[in-house]
Amino acid sequence: MLRYRKPSSVSPVTFEFGIAVLLKAGFTQIPRRGKGSHTVWAHPLYNGSITLSGKDGKDAQRYQEQDVKRAIREVKENES
């Protein structure tokens, strides 16, 4: 089965933007959980945690963008 892919002209999300979105949604960084460029994020209404890897100024990986969207969606559903 073929799946639709976004055109490559769509700009990828940056690492900083992913962090900003998580912060705005109420996620907090768990201190001393990530190594190197990895940061771990948690929210009281999210079952689990989100790990982002990357450095400032770099693009986030596509799977990380999807993880962030999924986590925020779950938090919004749990708020209701």
| Domain boundaries, given as residue ranges, for the chain | 30-79
Per-residue pLDDT of the chain (80 residues; tens, 9 = 90+): 555 555 555 567 788 888 999 999 999 999 887 678 889 999 999 999 999 888 877 888 889 999 999 999 999 999 87
Tell me the whole-structure pTM to 2 decimals. Answer: 0.76
In angstroms, rounded to a whole number, what is the distance separating the alpha carbons of residues 7 and 44? 35
